[in-house]
Chain A
Amino acid sequence: EAQVTQNPRYLITVTGKKLTVTCSQNMNHEYMSWYRQDPGLGLRQIYYSMNVEVTDKGDVPEGYKVSRKEKRNFPLILESPSPNQTSLYFCASSSGNGYTFGSGTRLTVV
């Protein structure tokens, strides 16, 4: 089944403790991206990648890092999480015409 898989689905962490949210796609898509969803703000793009080793900032990249060492994987790294990064995160992949999204990761930073 073609899908985008992100883990974990739920995560509660403390301020400053580094964490990684993993994302993997099995569709051989060139593009991958991370979004966060917040009430009243919709989906905001954090980072995206056009292919292996090629990444670019979205609209809200501060406090996040990404890497694309393999085509199928695109992890999101929070080096020092803060409470304002509490949000619902979505990973997505695309062949060029619109993204396919994962099921989301609800992150709470206390």
Chain B
Amino acid sequence: DQQVKQNSPSLSVQEGRISILNCDYTNSMFDYFLWYKKYPAEGPTFLISISSIKDKNEDGRFTVFLNKSAKHLSLHIVPSQPGDSAVYFCAASAVSGNTGKLIFGQGTTLQVKP
């Protein structure tokens, strides 16, 4: 039972345009959400997070939106750059993030074309 789902395995966008990566979750107890970025031959690196008390969090070119009623979150990258090409994972946890149990989605491979 996949509690965190990324239904798009891949996404291709042109440099300078917006990239939108989507994530759905099923467990209403999740209250802290994160996005990670992963390059080949490296471990995932933290990108941005959002608590369930917010519906938006912004950090430079990266913005995460949370729609609790739809159990949906999205990551917007504006403008997209070729260096953003990587696999992006969303992740979710319960109990205000203060837990070791962190559930990941399947990942979406983003390709940004020059």
Instruction: Closest B residue to A9 by CB, please name it.
Output: B41
Say yes or no: B101 contacts A56, CB within 8 Å.
yes
Say yes or no: A49 contacts B43, CB within 8 Å.
no
Per-position binary interface string of chain A over residues 76-110, scored 1 when its CB falls under 8 Å from any chain B CB and 0 otherwise: 00000000000000101010111111111000000
Within A1-44, the residues touching B (CB, 8 Å) are: 4, 31-33, 35, 40-44
Say yes or no: A90 contacts B44, CB within 8 Å.
yes
- Which residue of the partner chain, among B41, B89, B100, B103, contacts A59 with CB atoms under 8 Å? B103
A49 to B106: give the CA distance in the assembly, Å. 23
Total contacts A-B at CB 8 Å: 67
Instruction: Closest B residue to A100 by CB, please name it.
Output: B46
Chain B residues, Cβ within 8 Å of A100: 46
**Interface SS majority for chain B:** loop
Chain B residues, Cβ within 8 Å of A32: 100
Say yes or no: A45 contacts B103, CB within 8 Å.
yes
Within B73-99, the residues touching A (CB, 8 Å) are: 89, 91, 97-99
What class of interface size applies to chain A in its complex with B? 20 to 34
Which of B9, B101, B105 has the largest number of chain A CB atoms within 10 A?
A: B101
Q: A42-B89, A42-B105 are in contact. Are A98 and B100 (CB under 8 A)?
A: no
A31 to B93: give the CA distance in the assembly, Å. 13
Say yes or no: B102 contacts A33, CB within 8 Å.
yes
- Which residue of the partner chain, among B32, B41, B43, contacts A90 with CB atoms under 8 Å? B43
Chain A residues, Cβ within 8 Å of B107: 42-43
Say yes or no: A48 contacts B103, CB within 8 Å.
no
- Which residue of the partner chain, among A43, A48, A50, contacts B89 with CB atoms under 8 Å? A43
A59 to B43: give the CA distance in the assembly, Å. 20
Q: Which residues of B contact A (CB under 8 A)?
A: 6, 9, 32, 34, 36, 41-46, 49, 89, 91, 97-107
